[in-house]
């Protein structure tokens, strides 16, 4: 069986962001608003040109449609991708300019943190628009930095998948974590608490070395992390970690991580399946952050965030069960579930 080359329709809207005064240069891609406004974080990263940023924004926005639908959130899918200026720039001015662009969309797009952005950046955005979450929130309120919730959801997903597909507890397993940033580091701490052995890699020596010392983790080169001897591979850096080369070299029997768009191309899901490697669809495992963002934006409480994140493990087990029964990739099974939810919303809106 082969995977379909594409999923839902291409983004229905993309908005070019350009403000030379502040250095803002990027794009907002809105993939689907069938269920509600497009919600998805703002990535601030190095891109060779605007075409590369647009490609990434479109792929990420599509993934957000699936993620939000699957998590039962009242949002469609969208994403902002901003090119990080080379050299000096005024960070607050840049994110304020981005905030004005979000405001101009009148609530069609709701933003938050992603790779390269922080709570402070979202505070700058919030000075221009209310269509933003991931802000400083009062003690005990829902919201703030979404990363801890993402890490918790990935941990729950990994635990459920390890029990179901490896018949083992995390305390008996070794996990190779690629990327020890906000989510990766929080995930490593949870895994260490659960008694898992850790192998980690990050291009940033400060991030990996401090963590390795605290958690007694082995550090390997970034080029080797996907192929090290481990039971589970957890991609927690950027997208595309799973390609024909990394899958061919992988020793792990389970993949479960935080990164968005882990499959370099959709057909890699089938390569994983034929190698007997169980893949937990990224957008199912990593929904914790957007669940928190959604609750903050909608004024819900922390208990509702915790309850939704708590459902991730069960959802993963259900998808893996069905994939096993039908001898199909979990990626295909999850995509069909999400498409059914979005399709139903489209029918009701028509």
- Alpha carbon distance 240, 161 (integer Å): 21
Q: Quick check: is 79 catalytic? A: yes
Least spacing, CB of residue 89 vs ligand NAD, in Å: 18
Least spacing, CB of residue 349 vs ligand NAD, in Å: 27
The residue from 72, 181, 266, 343 that contacts ligand NAD (CB under 6 A) is: 181
For ligand NAD, give the closer residue by CB, 114 or 335. 114
Q: Does the protein bind ligand NAD through residue 238 (CB under 6 A)?
A: yes
Phi/psi at 150 (5° precision) = -60, -45
- Alpha carbon distance 346, 49 (integer Å): 34
Give just the sign of the alpha carbon dihedral 70, 315, 265, 219: positive
Residue 76 is labelled as binding a ligand: no
Least spacing, CB of residue 287 vs ligand NAD, in Å: 7
Q: Using CB under 6 A as the criterion, what x/- string covers residues 108-147 for binding ligand NAD? A: -----xxxx-----------------------------xx
Residue 184 is labelled as binding a ligand: yes
Which listed range, 32-40, 256-264, 267-275, 304-312, lies at the site for ligand NAD (CB under 6 A)? 256-264
Q: Does the protein bind ligand NAD through residue 94 (CB under 6 A)?
A: no
Q: Does the protein bind ligand NAD through residue 11 (CB under 6 A)?
A: no
- Alpha carbon distance 81, 89 (integer Å): 17
Q: Return the closest-CA partner of residue 101 out of 25, 170, 46, 194.
A: 25
- Alpha carbon distance 264, 333 (integer Å): 18
Strands 254-255 and 232-235, sheet pairing = parallel
- Alpha carbon distance 9, 282 (integer Å): 20
Token output for 304: 């509702």
The residue from 120, 203, 214, 248 that contacts ligand NAD (CB under 6 A) is: 203
Q: Return the closest-CA partner of residue 285 out of 157, 177, 106.
A: 157
Which listed range, 73-81, 203-211, 317-325, 337-345, lies at the site for ligand NAD (CB under 6 A)? 203-211
Are the C-beta atoms of 26 and 74 separated by less than 8 Å?
no
Q: Using the CB atoms, write b or e for 214-253: b if 16+ within 10 Å.
A: ebebebbeeeebbbbebbbbbbbbbbbbbeeebbeebebb
Residue 183 is labelled as binding a ligand: yes
The residue from 29, 53, 176, 183 that contacts ligand NAD (CB under 6 A) is: 183
Residue 154 is labelled as binding a ligand: no
Least spacing, CB of residue 116 vs ligand NAD, in Å: 6
Q: Return the closest-CA partner of residue 204 out of 183, 222, 187.
A: 222
The residue from 207, 302, 324, 328 that contacts ligand NAD (CB under 6 A) is: 207
Residues that contact ligand NAD, how many (by CB under 6 A): 28
Q: Does the protein bind ligand NAD through residue 222 (CB under 6 A)?
A: yes
Residue whose CB is nearest to ligand NAD in the complex, by number: 181
For ligand NAD, give the closer residue by CB, 204 or 344. 204
Instruction: Give the catalytic positions in this structure.
Output: 79
Binding site for ligand NAD (CB under 6 A): 113-116, 146-147, 150, 178-184, 201-204, 207, 222, 236-238, 258-260, 286, 289
Annotated binding site: 179-184
């Amino acid at each position: 069986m082969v995977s379909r080359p594409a999923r839902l329709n291409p983004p229905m809207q993309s908005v070019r962001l350009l403000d030379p005064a502040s250095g803002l240069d990027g794009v907002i891609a809105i993939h689907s608003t069938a269920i509600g406004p497009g919600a998805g974080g703002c990535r601030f990263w190095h891109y060779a040109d605007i075409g590369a940023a647009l490609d990434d924004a479109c792929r990420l926005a599509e993934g957000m449609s699936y993620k939000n639908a699957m998590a039962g959130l009242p949002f469609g899918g969208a994403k902002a991708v901003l090119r990080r200026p080379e050299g000096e720039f005024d960070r607050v001015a840049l994110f304020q300019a981005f905030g004005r662009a979000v405001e101009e969309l009148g609530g069609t797009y709701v933003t938050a943190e992603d790779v390269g952005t922080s709570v402070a950046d979202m505070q700058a955005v919030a000075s221009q628009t209310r269509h933003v979450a991931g802000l400083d929130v009062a003690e005990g309120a829902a919201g703030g930095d979404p990363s801890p919730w993402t890490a918790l959801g990935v941990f729950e997903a990994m635990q459920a998948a390890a029990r179901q597909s490896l018949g083992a507890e995390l305390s008996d397993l070794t996990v190779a974590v690629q990327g020890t940033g906000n989510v990766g580091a929080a995930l490593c701490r949870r895994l260490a608490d659960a008694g898992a052995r850790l192998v980690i890699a990050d291009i940033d020596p400060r991030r990996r070395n401090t963590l390795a010392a605290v958690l007694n983790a082995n550090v390997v080169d970034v080029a080797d992390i996907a192929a090290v001897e481990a039971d589970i591979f957890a991609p927690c850096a950027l997208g595309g970690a799973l390609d024909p080369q990394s899958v061919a070299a992988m020793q792990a029997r389970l993949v479960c991580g935080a990164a968005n768009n882990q499959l370099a191309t959709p057909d890699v899901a089938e390569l994983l399946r034929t190698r007997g490697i169980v893949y937990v669809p990224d957008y199912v495992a990593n929904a914790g952050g957007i669940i928190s963002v959604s609750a903050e934006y909608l004024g819900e409480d922390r208990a509702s965030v915790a309850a939704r994140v708590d459902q991730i493990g069960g959802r993963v087990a259900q998808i893996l069960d069905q994939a096993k029964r039908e001898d199909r990739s979990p990626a295909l099974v999850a995509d069909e579930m999400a498409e059914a939810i979005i399709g139903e919303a489209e029918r009701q809106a028509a």
